[in-house]
Amino acid sequence: MTLKDNFYTICNATHDADNHVFEVKLNAIHEIYAAHFPGNAITPGACTLQMVAEMVQETTGKCLQLACAKNVKYLAPITPQNTPCPTFVLNIKNNGQEYAVKAEVKNGEQVFAKLSLVYE
C-alpha cells in the first residue's frame, strides 16, 4: 500500500550527493489516524518505515525491498496535530546491490525517530 499522496504529501525535497531531505505534510484526517488512536492520533511506526521506503525508492528510481532493519529507534510520538509537517533526513549509500539508509525524522531540533535500514 502506497502512502504518498494519501497519508502524506511531499511539500519539498532537496538532494545533495548521498543526503536527501523531504519535508512532508501528514493527512490528519486519514483513516489510519481514526484507528491509531481515536482522539489521540499517533503516526504508526510501520507507516514511518513505509514512508522512508517510498522516499528511498523515489530517490533511487528503483523498486526496493527492505532487507534488514539494523536499528530502529522511536524517540517521541509523531502526531498530526502537534507535528503536521515533519522532516525526513535520509543518507542513502549504494553498496553494489544494496542501499544502506540512515534516516532521521525530525521537526526542528526535535528528533522523533532514527533508523538504519538496508534495502535491496
CB contact at 8 A, 99 and 92 = yes
pLDDT of residue 91: 98
DSSP letter for 84, please. S
Instruction: With respect to residue 62, please indicate whether it lies within any of the assigned structural domains.
Output: yes
C-alpha cell at 73: 529507534
Domain CATH for 14: 3.10.129.10
Q: How many structural domains compose the chain?
A: 1
Instruction: With respect to residue 67, please indicate whether it lies within any of the assigned structural domains.
Output: yes
Instruction: With respect to residue 3, please indicate whether it lies within any of the assigned structural domains.
Output: no
Domain of residue 52, residue span: 8-119
Instruction: With respect to residue 112, please indicate whether it lies within any of the assigned structural domains.
Output: yes
Instruction: With respect to residue 1, please indicate whether it lies within any of the assigned structural domains.
Output: no
In the chain the beta strands, taken as DSSP E runs, fall at 8-16, 19-26, 66-74, 87-95, 98-107, 110-119
pLDDT of residue 1: 84
> Model confidence over 52-111: pLDDT tens digits?
999 999 999 999 999 999 999 999 999 999 999 999 999 999 999 999 999 999 999 999
